[in-house]
Amino acid sequence: MPEGRGALAGIRVTDTATLIAGPMVGSYLGELGAEVVKVEQPGAGDPLRTWGDAKDGIGLVWKSVSRNKRCVTLDLRQKDGQEVLEELIARSDVLVLGSRPSALARWGLTPADVLARHPGLIVLHVSGYGAGGPFSDRPGYGTLAEAMSGFAHLVGEPDGPPALPPFMLADGVAALAATHAVLAALYHRDVRGGGGQVIDVNLIEPLARLIESATLSYDQLGVNPRRSGSRFDASAPRNCYRTRDGHWVAISSASPRMAQRVFAVVGRPDMAGDPAYYSPAGRLARGDEIDRAVADWIKERPLAEVLETFQAQDCAIARVYDAEALLDDPHLVARGTFAAVDDPDLGPVRVQAPVARLSGTPGTVEHLGRSLGADNDEVYRGLLGFDEARVAELRANRTI
C-alpha cells in the first residue's frame, strides 16, 4: 500500500491467526491503511487457503479475507522462528494471536508475556472460549459458539431442530468486536498517552450480545424464548412471504404506523383502524392472525406486483436475494458495494468493498490474498534487514 494512505497509515499489524476471526481483523485494519504482515506455517499455510469453494485450486474466501496483506512463512514451533517473530513484533503496533493458550505458552507467546516484553504493543487474542475459564484450552470454532451463544436455539421453525448458519457468523461478529477494541486501544495509546494492552475476545460473547433480549427475558421474567421461524410477533407482521411466482419477500413492521400501512395494502382497514391490532401489545397477542392475513394476500400475487404495491405505500419490504441478485442489485451497484479487483491468479474478482465509507480517508482494496510466502524477501530482508546468510539459514532449516 502506498505510504501515508488511509486512516491507519503508519500502523503495522502482525497477524499470526488462522481461519476467519483473527485474520478478518487484519483485513479490516488493512483496508483502513494499516500495513498487515500475515504469518503462515511453511508448506501448508493458513487452512483458510483450502477452505470452501476454490477456482483452479485457489480458495476464494482466502483471496478476500487476505486482501491488502503481505504474506510470509514462519514456523513458530522452531526456536529460530520464534526469534524472527520477536523481531517482527518489535516493529509492530498490533499483534493478532489466534492459537490456544497451551500452544502460545509453548511458543513463548502468551499475551501477558508478549506485553511484558513489548509494553507499547496492542496484543489481540481471539479464541474460542477466551481466557480465565475452565474451557479456555478447548478447541473452539464458530459452530460451537453459534450453539453456545444461544443463537442456534432461537433459529429455525418452532417444531424443527435448532439451526446453524451456513456461513461464518460467530467468527465475523467476533472480528467486528475485536476490530473496534483494537482501534480503541490504539486511541488510548497514541492519543491519550497510554501504554499497550491485551485484548481478549472469544467467539461466544459477541454473538450472545446481539441476542441479549433472550437472557434479559429469562433473567427478569422467567421466560425462555423459543424458536419462531422468521416470525417476531412483537413487530408483526414480520416474516418471509412467498409470492405467486415462487419468489420470497421480507416485511418488517417495527412501528404501529408501519403496521397500519401494511394492513391497508393487504385490504384489512379493520386492522389498520383498531389499536387491538396495530399497537405493540395487540400485534404481540394477535401475531398468528396478522401473519396469515399478509401471507394470504401476497401468495395470490406475483413478485413485481407485491413489491410495487407495498413500495407505493412506503412500506418496508425487500426481495430475499440470492448471490446473483445481490451482485446485480441496482442500488448496490450504484454504491460500488462489490468491486472488481484484478488478481494475478484468478483475473477480475468481485469482492465486497470496505463496508464503512470514510469521506476523508476511504478504505481501499489494493490487492487480494497473495501466494504463500510471496513477501518473504520484502519483509525479512527489507523490513527486518536480514542479510543473505541469515535468510539462507532460515530456509535451510525450513523455518521460512
The kind and range of the H/E element at 64 are: helix 60-65
With beta carbons less than 8 A apart as the criterion, state whether 142 and 21 touch.
yes
Q: Give the angle subtended at the CA of 157 by the CAs of 156 and 158, to the nearest 5°.
A: 120
Instruction: Report the C-alpha gap between 302 and 304 in whole angstroms.
Output: 6
The total of other beta-carbon atoms located within 10 Å of residue 358's CB is 13
What SS3 class is residue 240?
A: strand
Question: Alpha helix locations (H) across 111-168?
Answer: 111-117, 142-148, 151-154
Please tell me what DSSP assigns to residue 370. Answer: P
Rounded distance between C-alpha atoms, residue 57 and residue 123, angstroms: 34
**Listed residue (234, 339, 210) closest to 282, CA to CA:** 234
Are 207 and 146 in contact by the 8 Å Cβ rule? The answer is: yes
Name the residue type at position 212: E
Please give the positions annotated as active site. 171
Nearest CA among 127, 147, 124, 145 for reference residue 136: 127
Residue 228 and residue 47: Cα distance in Å, rounded? 36
Residues facing residue 123 across a β-bridge: 95, 198
**Does residue 154 sit in helix, strand or coil?**
helix
C-alpha to C-alpha distances, 400 to 66, 195, 362, nearest whole angstrom: 19, 32, 34
Tell how strand 248-252 and strand 239-242 pair up. Answer: antiparallel
Q: How far is residue 159 CA from its own chain's centroid?
A: 30
HSE-up (13 A, CA, CB side) for residue 40? 27
Task: Pick the closest to residue 19 from 66, 56, 54 (CA basis).
Answer: 66
Compute the CA torsion angle 202, 323, 26, 83 (nearest 10 deg).
90
